[in-house]
DNA sequence: GGATGACTATGACATTTATCATATCTTTGA
DNA sequence: TCAAAGATATGATAAATGTCATAGTCATCC
């Protein structure tokens, strides 16, 4: 079994950008990278900056968010093990469009920009994987745009809870395995914190979910999907 | 000068997916494609379908839209000359996430799926260009998500008008060079048609825009940007 | 373990936006 | 050119959601 710090570890995941890469290609990346870690709450990348490299997350959870005009966060997406941060900015030669903050202690591999370009050139399979991932994400973003434009707040909250449940899975007690404040959930739904608090209470009373402290568990998944008009 | 139906014609555009491709690569695509046309209002691709090929738009304007739960359209984006439709679905191996309808008579080149994969394999420059375009679009999608989540309807309308002005340019009288109903604009802003009608009237009275029939012109661009909190 | 700060919960009220109805104007097609 | 259909405009009202205020609970740190 390879050491967990070797890129082959991540390449085993079928959705990984490294999937299907040659041994030589993975070896190349392993030589070029350095290992870094971030404490919970630490900002990894700032919106508007021009990153000098790419992070590949090895362990931990990260939120990608923008700041609106009032300084309010909008969480766009989460990044977990096997995901890359910063490559889009580098490839499109634009400032980075969302900040990244560690939600828990996080370990990542850092690949400098020039090395990243070299890997891209040497490994068409890698860039094709990135293209596939980007295409998938564009589809997801389109869905989110439609939800934000057309669904009411309750439906959107339900949808976000389902997404969180799918993204992070459940802990031993069945709760969504991520530690988020009501404010952070509101920053995904695009609504006021109080509205989220009220609607979580309502969804609980209606039997869709259960909660304990900050933690939330989806109780009736198919009912919640129907209520949120989420189709597969 | 090459005939306008040759792929080199589109490759001249610096933002084109074909930019920087070899003459041989462009020749390869030209051999594989067929020319097609669509009448105004014709549906080019249906949301949820699995396209058997990719369209490269040669002339015309297309809207990409999803249908929400009440059957209401949400316009995600426009596609104009030089843009590709359908490649994301093919590459991510997912059903297509948005329908495409021609806003005016449109001419395109059609590349069958298998040919498209061949071109991708043979031309890493092409797939890298697609990756760059996708990365750029993901940044744009993130901005739209933040606007929908945090801006009010008036700000969003202003922002949409600016985007339309930039995307389609102006005709000889200075009006945005695209023919959209108020309903279609509402379907981009994510609001009721009546709200758009009211706010267009308001923006006109406040001097930001002028309008004549369906047509709208941006009068004071920087003021509109400030009002919409749009920064570069 | 306790204090403090952060977070959650709830009520009251304000604001924004949607819906419904109706009249007028514009565009389209024969 | 004209009639019909579609789109735009406006008013009134309803509904959804935001804001403000306050109290209670939870998590963190010393």
**Least confident segment among A160-164, A175-179, B28-32, B97-101:** B28-32
DSSP for A33-65, written as a single string = -EEEEE-TT-EEE-TT---SEEEEEEES-EEEE
| pLDDT < 70 regions, chain A | 1-13, 232
Residue B31: predicted pLDDT: 86
Find the residue in A nearest to B69 (Cα). A229
Residue B31 contacts A, CB cutoff 8 Å: no
Residue B63: predicted pLDDT: 95
Q: Is the CB of A74 less than 8 angstroms away from the CB of B124?
A: no
Give the nucleotide with minimal C1' distance to the Cα of A201: C9
Per-residue pLDDT reduced to its tens digit, B170-201: 988 899 999 999 999 999 999 999 999 999 99
Distance between CA atoms of A212 and A107, rounded to whole angstroms? 29
Residue B69: predicted pLDDT: 83
Q: What count of Cα atoms within 13 Å lies in the side-chain half-sphere of residue A185?
A: 29
Contacts of B228 in chain A (CB under 8 A): none
The CATH number for B152-227, chosen from 3.40.50.10800, 1.10.8.100, 3.30.499.10, 1.10.10.10, is: 1.10.10.10
Give the nucleotide with minimal C1' distance to the Cα of B195: C17
Reported ipTM: 0.93
The contacts of residue A106 (CB under 8 Å, 6+ apart) are A37, A38, A40, A42, A44, A57, A59, A60, A61, A62
Domain boundaries, chain B: 7-146, 152-227
Find the residue in B nearest to A155 (Cα). B69
Residue A95: predicted pLDDT: 95
Residue A84 contacts B, CB cutoff 8 Å: no
Residue A221 contacts B, CB cutoff 8 Å: no
Residue A71: predicted pLDDT: 85
Output the CA torsion sign for A91, A92, A94, A97: negative
Q: Bigger pLDDT: B229 or A15?
A: B229
Overall fold of domain B7-146: Jelly Rolls (2.60.120)
Same fold, B7-146 and B152-227: no
Over 70: is that where the pLDDT of B165 sits? yes
Across the beta sheet with A34-38, the strand order is: A34-38, A106-112, A53-59, A84-85
Nucleotides of D under 7 A from a protein CB: 6-12, 16-21, 26-27
How large is the C-alpha radius of gyration of chain A?
19
Residue B1: predicted pLDDT: 42
Residue A70: predicted pLDDT: 83
Residue B115: predicted pLDDT: 92
Tokens encoding A51: 């990153």
Residue B103: predicted pLDDT: 92
CB-CB contact of A86 with A94 (8 Å): no
- Report the pLDDT averaged over residues B109-138: 92
Overall fold of domain A151-227: Arc Repressor Mutant, subunit A (1.10.10)
């Amino acid at each position: 079994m390879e050491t967990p710090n070797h890129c082959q570890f991540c390449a085993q995941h079928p959705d990984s950008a490294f999937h299907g890469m040659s041994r030589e290609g993975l070896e190349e990346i392993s030589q070029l990278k350095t290992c870094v870690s971030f404490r919970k709450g630490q900002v990894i990348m700032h919106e508007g900056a021009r990153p000098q490299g790419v992070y590949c997350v090895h362990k931990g959870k990260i939120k990608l968010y923008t700041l609106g005009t009032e300084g309010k966060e909008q969480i766009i997406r989460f990044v977990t093990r096997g995901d890359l941060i910063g490559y889009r900015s580098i490839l499109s030669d634009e400032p980075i469009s969302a900040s990244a903050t560690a939600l828990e202690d996080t370990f990542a591999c850092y690949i400098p920009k020039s090395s990243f370009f070299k890997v891209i050139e040497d490994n068409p399979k890698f860039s094709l994987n990135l293209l596939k991932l980007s295409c998938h994400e564009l589809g997801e973003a389109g869905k989110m745009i439609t939800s934000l434009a057309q669904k009411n707040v309750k439906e959107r909250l339900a949808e976000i809870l389902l997404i969180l449940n799918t993204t992070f899975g459940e802990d031993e007690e069945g709760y969504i395995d991520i530690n988020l404040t009501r404010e952070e959930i509101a920053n995904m739904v695009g609504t006021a914190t109080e509205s989220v608090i009220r609607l979580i209470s309502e969804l609980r009373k209606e039997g869709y979910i259960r909660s304990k402290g900050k933690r939330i568990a989806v109780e009736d998944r198919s009912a919640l999907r129907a209520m949120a008009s989420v189709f597969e």
